[in-house]
A and B are shown apart, each in its own frame.
Chain A
Amino acid sequence: EAGVAQSPRYKIIEKRQSVAFWCNPISGHATLYWYQQILGQGPKLLIQFQNNGVVDDSQLPKDRFSAERLKGVDSTLKIQPAKLEDSAVYLCASSPAGRGVSGELFFGEGSRLTVL
Chain B
Amino acid sequence: QKEVEQDPGPLSVPEGAIVSLNCTYSNSAFQYFMWYRQYSRKGPELLMYTYSSGNKEDGRFTAQVDKSSKYISLFIRDSQPSDSATYLCAMTSLKTSYDKVIFGPGTSLSVIP
Interface residues of A (CB under 8 A from B): 4, 31, 40-45, 48, 50, 55-56, 91, 93, 97-99, 102-105, 107-110, 112
Binds A, one of B11-19, B41-49, B57-65, B76-84: B41-49
A sample of 5 cross-chain residue pairs with beta-carbon separation below 8 angstroms, ordered by A number, consists of A41-B105, A42-B4, A42-B106, A43-B88, A112-B41
Mask, B38-75, CB within 8 Å of A = 1, is: 00011111100100000000000000000000000000
Q: Is B24 an interface residue (CB 8 A)?
A: no
Which range holds the interface residue count of chain B?
20 to 34
Given contacts A56-B100, A103-B92, contact A110 B43 (CB under 8 A): yes
| Interchain Cβ contacts within 8 Å, total number | 62
Q: Which B residue's beta carbon lies closest to that of A99?
A: B97
Are B88 and A42 in contact (CB-based, < 8 A)?
Answer: yes
Are A103 and B101 in contact (CB-based, < 8 A)?
Answer: yes
User: Which residue from A31, A42, A93 sits with its C-beta under 8 Å from B43?
Assistant: A93
Name which of B6, B43, B105 has the most chain A CB atoms within 10 A of its CB: B43
Name which of A42, A45, A103 has the most chain B CB atoms within 10 A of its CB: A42
User: Which residue from B32, B45, B96, B103 sits with its C-beta under 8 Å from A44?
Assistant: B103
Given contacts A91-B43, A109-B41, contact A40 B101 (CB under 8 A): no
Are A42 and B49 in contact (CB-based, < 8 A)?
Answer: no
